[in-house]
Amino acid sequence: MLHHPSKHLLFVVGLTALLAACSSGGSPQVGGELRIFNWDDYFAPTTLADFEKEFGIKVHLDTFDDEAELLSTISSDPSRYDLFIGSDELIGEMVELRLVAELDLDNIPNLANIDTEFLNLPGNPGNRYGIPYDWGTTGVMYNRTCIEPQVKSWALLQDTRLAGQVAMDTDPAVVIGATLKYLGYPLNSDDPGELNEAVGILKDQIKKVQLRFIPAYDARQMMKSGELCATQAYNGDAAYEMAENEDFAFFVPKEGSDIYFDMMAIPRDAKNKAGAELFMNYVLRPEVHAAISNYTGYATPNRAAREQGLIDQAYLSDPTIYPDTDLLEPWVIFDGQRRALWNRAWAEVQSVAPKSQVSN
């Protein structure tokens, strides 16, 4: 699987998004084409082809690199796609911007297959705007030939023995959030003093270990090429890479990390809303959802798929794929004040990072 997520967009949405949110668009209608916007390699190999064959609807798939691109694209033209997959936090923000269509749940009866703990999330009350796709966390992936940590801690990304060969994501939220957890603070802290401490830690990493900020997909490739020895990583990505390379390992740090939920959602002005709801219901079939989970290496919220024994047993018992949720803290929907604080913190971090250490 070639993903993932910058998961949690924190930058203030510009005038373009707000204007797009207030514009009027075409009415959704049933059609013979379905346009999907998703992370790269985030379906099973036959997911789309099987849907096309069964329903006679042609699927066009475009991919994005991070959620900043996702939000920008949907904001600029809410009619361009019929369905997208994004984090529940981002979808919650997009609901506030009136960029997401309300779902007709009568068209998605297979929602009954989803665990109740993944329903009615903070950004999706009543499941009106998003349908659970998968869930996961971030942690540390490392190469055992470089280093074997004695303690499973975020501190590994500060180890001077890895200078020049260590990275964190380009998503400000997962970077700042991980640093807050390392310091023993809440993942979603809005305390200026705690955020300043996190900024200080990150600045220190930039200086002492030449910390690089690299998108998840690129970091994976650099792990494989040996350019990186350790990186912040999404657990599903790590599981995929570990299956390919026995030198790679992953852990959720002892200080804790986040838990995120990816959702399927429909842009406000989608041209084929009915087709998108049909696709959502199709994905929620136990066998379809299981095939996606078994391919991507991300945990499924589909209770029926697990109960029917459709999920690879090795995955279910793998703490990389199904980590201990006691260590994980959920994200909240950021209000304007909290978002502004985090934006300022990230800007301060980026201001001291050499261009050579930052990937776009």
Tens-binned pLDDT, residue by residue, of the chain (360 aa): 444 444 444 443 443 344 444 433 443 344 699 999 999 889 999 999 999 999 999 999 999 988 889 999 999 999 999 999 999 889 988 998 999 999 999 999 999 999 998 998 877 889 999 999 999 999 999 999 999 999 999 999 999 999 999 999 998 999 999 999 999 999 999 999 999 999 999 999 999 999 999 988 899 999 999 999 999 999 989 998 999 999 999 999 999 999 999 999 999 999 999 999 999 999 999 999 999 999 988 999 999 999 999 999 999 999 999 998 889 999 988 888 999 999 999 999 999 988 877 775
Q: Give me the numbers of helices (H) and strands (E) for the chain, helices first please.
A: 13, 11
Report the predicted TM-score, pTM, of the whole model to 2 decimal places: 0.81
Q: Report the C-alpha gap between 29 and 164 in whole angstroms.
A: 52
Give yes or no for a contact between 236 and 3, defined as CB atoms under 8 angstroms apart: yes
Secondary element (H or E) of residue 213: strand 212-213
Q: Report the C-alpha gap between 255 and 273 in whole angstroms.
A: 42
pLDDT at 336: 87
Q: Please determine, looking at this structure, whether the domain spanning 138-258+328-357 carries the CATH number 3.40.190.10.
A: yes
The residue ranges of DSSP E strands in 40-137, in sequence order, are: 58-64, 83-87, 131-136
Question: Which positions ≥6 away from 197 have C-beta within 8 Å?
Answer: 183, 185
Q: Report the C-alpha gap between 141 and 349 in whole angstroms.
A: 23
pLDDT at 31: 64
Give yes or no for a contact between 205 and 158, defined as CB atoms under 8 angstroms apart: yes
Q: Which CATH class is domain 15-135+261-323?
A: alpha beta
pLDDT at 360: 58
**Measured between alpha carbons, how far is residue 92 from residues 9, 246, 264, 327, 335 in Å?**
11, 38, 12, 24, 11
Q: Where are the domains of the chain?
A: 15-135+261-323, 138-258+328-357
